[in-house]
Structure 1
Amino acid sequence: MQRIPYFIILLCLFYPLFSTYSQGCVAIRHFSSCVGSNLENNLLSTGDIQIGVNYRYFKSFRHFRGTEEEPDRLANNTEVINHSHAWDFFATYGINDRLYASITIPTVINTRSSLYEHGRNERNVTFSRGLADIRFGFGYWVFDMEKSPNGNLALGLGAKLPTGIYNASDIFYNVGPNGEPQTRPVDQSIQPGDGGFGVTVDFQFYQKITTDVFSYASGFYLINPRETNGVRTFRETLSPILQNESIMAVPDQYSLRGGLSYNISPTISSSLGARFDCVPVKDLIGGNEGFRRPGNVLSIDPGVSFMKSNFVINLNVPFAVRRERPQSITDLQTEQLTGTPRNGDAAFSDYVINLGVTYRFANNKVRLAPELENNFK
């Protein structure tokens, strides 16, 4: 049987989707697949346990309306600036050589600096932090590892629990009837949770091309049946025509990625691919009322990984090459009501920093067959 270097397989998807929230679009909130798409988490023997944490940071500040950037926002100092920090703590358990279970417990710290939310005359900052929405689920490798050593496909199904605060509040200045500060819910983009129970479906695929090169692909879709979460946005106070944006929506979200991985040395590997992250205009299930910022980002996704024994460090820094904020349902409703074209804007980042650390506890009592085990050393 042809030998497959384990560190190549390990790198095929070493940037996990459990750190998604994608390219830092204000429209696209922090989320991920419940079982991730990190092969070193999911290629497990029976009884193996993999634990780890993934840290993500971005600064969003470039405003787009459609696919056109609005550079005047930076020139006039009217841009909205989000700083987002997220830590995803996760564990994956090998039920058998093909079936695995995973849980992700995310925490976030977010800040948002703006003028328009504070009377438009002075810039102030709002803040949120805490537990986000916990995800758990199962994944299954479709093909037997022994019979298909050079490539495989895993399918996953999971759930997202509404454990994160979705009505986090802070002080907004110059917004009261007499210009006094008021306590209000923070913007949708920095809420730790979305208030909805969701279902996730995902896949991951790898295929050997040459001795040291593998192709990979992965993706997930979050189905959020709940239409709105009842949290007021106060956007109707900015303009009476924004009454249809007064309550926060609970939108779907999805992500796709693919590329090539290549080993540099026995302990260091690299990858280069592309990724597409999106909050769609319409959900697959349920209504589409309420305020959302639909958006999508196409990124170039380079990465590097270090592996020593059961310990792995991954670094990915996707760079945005195309950003779009399409018309939302409420944009279209306002356009029909006023007869004036309307397309809301959203702020995006230039890049995202993703740093992951994992460790595997191998079950020495239950092991793969020796001839298969050799393929993954």
Structure 2
Amino acid sequence: MKKIIYFFSVAMLLGSLNVYSQGCIAVRHMASATGNPNSTTSMMKGGQFQFTASYRYLYSFRHFVGTEEQKERIENNTQVINTSHAFDFGLSYAVNPRLSFALNIPFIDNARSSLYEHYGNSIEANPEQKRFFTYSKGVGDMRLSTTYWLLNPATHLKGNIAIGVGIKAPTGDANVQGNFHKLDKNKVEYIQRKALDQSMQLGDSGWGYSIELQGYQTLFKNASVYYNGFYMFSPKTVNPATNFSVPDQFAGRAGFSYLIAPKSGISFALGGRVEGLPAIDRIGNSEGSRRPGYIVSVEPSLILNTHHHSFTFAVPYAVVRNRIKSWSDMQDPAGKKHGDAAFADYLITATYAFRF
């Protein structure tokens, strides 16, 4: 039983790779296509199901150009603030102990406040420095995926590797509209209704195709290393309704886990993760508006496992935030154009899984 609980702890870590909008870096809310958040499908018997529910909180406000923070944005109160509550619901089915399928449905609740999108950042345009909000809420882009363990999980508890492929469907609204407060030349307010910022959109309007890898290896009693990652290809170039890019996405994690209380099923893990979107897509061109970049985080996690129930709590803390040049930035003949993006300091994530 201790070996099973130990294995579940590792499996929970393997399945918990989630990628979400990192403030203005508009990475869609999506789980790893290798199973679903906090999956233990590698120990499922044929015909078994697993339900998962995960939550993520984000508060982004720090602006970066490259890896340099634009501290004056906070000092001048012109920073853009994104607050996001994201939920992901998944259902997995094991055909046999090595092959499983998963469906994931995200639900997202976003709020964004800024000056520049409304009256403006400057004192001349916005003397009272008024800040206004926009909102988006609804279902995001769904994912269907399959996972295959290269070795028999029942006989390889000490180490295994799985490969996976997935497909993302454009089920989330990719043209969410909002009200923007503007002033005419006589300083009279009027409302302009238009598409929200790309980080607030619930979907990207395109189909995505992902390839994934995950694995684990025991180091010594109750201790192991884990790793997983994915890359999602997005062939569609832009959303014609907004001219936002439909970018590729990527994420990866690796770390060390230790079963600190075998009888209680409590484990602790410490690892690193990287997530983001590239400036240049692997398939198709990279036109349209996007804020490419990546986040490198240190990720401590606490995992609790029982026979049928599992819970994971993690707080990835950003140590590197890099808003790289976009394709449109690269077209500047002087090489000076380089847009900014807002990032969070940390995420708060929690996942519950039930196998039946």
1:171 deviation in Å? Answer: 0.3
Secondary structure of 2:210's aligned partner: strand
Question: Could you say if the C-alpha distance between residues 176 and 49 of structure 1 is closer, same or farther in structure 2, counting changes exceeding 3 Å?
Answer: farther
Secondary structure of 2:268's aligned partner: strand
Question: Could you say if the C-alpha distance between residues 63 and 156 of structure 1 is closer, same or farther in structure 2, counting changes exceeding 3 Å?
Answer: same
1:203 deviation in Å? Answer: 1.2
The answer to which of 178-187 and 116-125 deviates more is 178-187
| Distance of 1:49 and 1:307 partners within structure 2 | 17
Q: Name whichever structure is richer in strand by fraction.
A: 2
Q: Please tell me whether the aligned partners of residues 109 and 130 of structure 1 are also in contact (alpha carbons under 8 angstroms).
A: yes
| Matched AA of 1:228 | V
Aligned residues: 342
| Distance of 1:37 and 1:30 partners within structure 2 | 12
1:23 deviation in Å? Answer: 5.1
| Distance of 1:17 and 1:39 partners within structure 2 | 7
Secondary structure of 1:231's aligned partner: coil
Question: Does 1:264 find its partner at 2:260?
Answer: yes
> What residue number does 1:124 align with?
132
Q: Percent identity?
A: 39
Q: Write out aligned runs for 1:8-23 (5 A).
A: 8-15=6-13, 16-17=15-16, 19-21=18-20
Tell me, which stretches of 5 or more residues in structure 2 are unaligned? 121-125
The answer to which of 60-69 and 300-309 deviates more is 300-309
Question: Does 1:79 find its partner at 2:61?
Answer: no
Render the CA deviation track for 1:347-367: whole Å, top value 9, x for unaligned: 000000110011110xxxxxx
> What residue number does 2:202 align with?
192
Question: Does 1:160 find its partner at 2:168?
Answer: yes
1:180 deviation in Å? Answer: 1.6
| Matched AA of 1:55 | Y
Q: Write out aligned runs for 1:1-377 (5 A).
A: 5-15=3-13, 16-17=15-16, 19-21=18-20, 24=23, 26-34=25-33, 35-36=35-36, 38-120=38-120, 121=126, 122-174=130-182, 179-232=189-242, 247-266=243-262, 267-333=265-331, 335-336=332-333, 339=334, 341-361=336-356
The answer to which of 315-324 and 23-32 deviates more is 23-32
Q: Please tell me whether the aligned partners of residues 173 and 181 of structure 1 are also in contact (alpha carbons under 8 angstroms).
A: yes
Runs ≥4 residues deviating over 6 A? 175-178
Question: Could you say if the C-alpha distance between residues 149 and 340 of structure 1 is closer, same or farther in structure 2, counting changes exceeding 3 Å?
Answer: closer
In the superposition, the TM-score normalised over structure 1's length comes to 0.87
| Distance of 1:307 and 1:103 partners within structure 2 | 22
Q: Please tell me whether the aligned partners of residues 28 and 279 of structure 1 are also in contact (alpha carbons under 8 angstroms).
A: yes
In the superposition, the TM-score normalised over structure 2's length comes to 0.92
Question: Could you say if the C-alpha distance between residues 192 and 141 of structure 1 is closer, same or farther in structure 2, counting changes exceeding 3 Å?
Answer: same
Secondary structure of 1:214's aligned partner: strand
Q: Please tell me whether the aligned partners of residues 28 and 295 of structure 1 are also in contact (alpha carbons under 8 angstroms).
A: no
What is the Cα-based RMSD across aligned positions, in Å? 1.8
| Matched AA of 1:116 | Y
1:4 deviation in Å? Answer: 7.0
> What residue number does 2:123 align with?
none
Q: Please tell me whether the aligned partners of residues 110 and 190 of structure 1 are also in contact (alpha carbons under 8 angstroms).
A: yes
Q: Please tell me whether the aligned partners of residues 24 and 352 of structure 1 are also in contact (alpha carbons under 8 angstroms).
A: no
Question: Could you say if the C-alpha distance between residues 340 and 147 of structure 1 is closer, same or farther in structure 2, counting changes exceeding 3 Å?
Answer: closer
| Distance of 2:312 and 2:157 partners within structure 1 | 24
